[in-house]
Amino acid sequence: MTLIYLDNAATTQIDPEVISLITKVMADGPLNASSLHSCGRIARNYLELATDQIGRCLNSKMDEPGGARLVFTGSGTEANNLVIRGMCKKNPLIISRIEHPSVIGVGQWLERTGQKVHWLEVDSIGRVSTEHLESLLQSDTNLSSLVSIMWANNETGVLQPIDRISELCRKYNAKLHVDATQCVGKIPIDLEKISLTSMSFTGHKFHGPAGVGGVWLSGGETLDPIMYGGEQQLETRPGTEPVALIAGMAFALEIACERIPETLVQCSNLRDRLENCLKEMFPDIVIQGSKTSRLPGTSCISFLGADRQSMLMALDLEGVSCSSGSACSSGSSPPSHVLHAMRRSKSEINSAIRFAVSRFSTLSEIESAVEKISKVYRRLKK
């Protein structure tokens, strides 16, 4: 049976070109950028090259004294934790109810320690309420708030109004962290045109390696570390940098950004083909967030009358890989907190399946997936 991989919001196939680069970097010898000898200089050169590559992809100058910088981490989850714990301090934190578990989890932890945390509401299609955000920012004008909002939702693909959110944060002197792990490398991002304090990303979401991520920090911003014991990365994130993985992530992002124009069209067409075919056969299914802007390749569909976990297992047996929510909670498969925050019905929440295509997906895979999904749904709905 040929595998049809439609879980690209969880992780992506690593690009063969990226594998070749990582292999080459590893073959260059023991690479510790803190070493003073020639191997250390080679490692530092790789890190500087990777920083420049990522900066160009995000349209951010990385070589200006006191300007923007990158902090490399082990994942997007670590990146979000580092920013929120390292920047929030004692000031109020504002996060939405549809954030990734790595943001919600640290928000809940801060609440337990006595930190003031405000939970931002979303509408029925999954967009953050900017009116609610402004009212929260107005209520805490005596303190500088930290706002953390994801650019694109990991379950529905819905894009948030980051431009408007950025305007409000500037107006009320709040810091803005954006979790961009789902959209970096998938949609154009220009950090010269939008005012952010920080932004997180991770390589395995855009056909790079797992085990490496990063934080983009605007000029003049600092983070308190959450780990200690080393002077790497200005003591912000101690530990020997994984040079080969960082180089691979930067190269993967460069490839992804160069191909964004064609990938946007390809993934949008494949997603629409999947949704339209299923909707034509089953008019009662609900496509979450379809009435607003979404990532080109992500689709969250509620198959009313079927159980999401039963569908997942049945589709897996048919060779279709998909998920029922965040990859960080897929092992236990709890009901979607995102759809709950959107106030969707219990039947929609309990039957929601997420599909996500990539530039490696094909039309023939989508056609085959539609056939398999429809067969499974008909059987389970009975």
> Are 302 and 286 a contacting pair, CB within 8 Å?
yes
By residue count, the chain amounts to 382
Number of CB atoms found within 10 A of residue 2's CB? 7
Task: Report CA torsion sign: 256, 99, 74, 91.
Answer: positive
* Alpha helix (H) residue ranges in the chain: 16-27, 38-57, 76-87, 101-112, 130-139, 162-171, 243-258, 260-281, 308-317, 337-341, 346-350, 363-381
Whether 277 is catalytic is no
H or E segment and range at residue 320: strand 320-321
Measured CA to CA, the distance from residue 276 to residue 269 in angstroms comes to: 10
Q: What three-state secondary structure class fits 77?
A: helix
Query: Of the residues 183, 257, 277, 328, which is catalytic?
Result: 328
DSSP β-bridge partners for residue 4:
320
Which of 258, 324, 334 lies closest to 104 in space, CA to CA?
334
> Are 3 and 240 a contacting pair, CB within 8 Å?
no
The residues assigned a catalytic role are 328
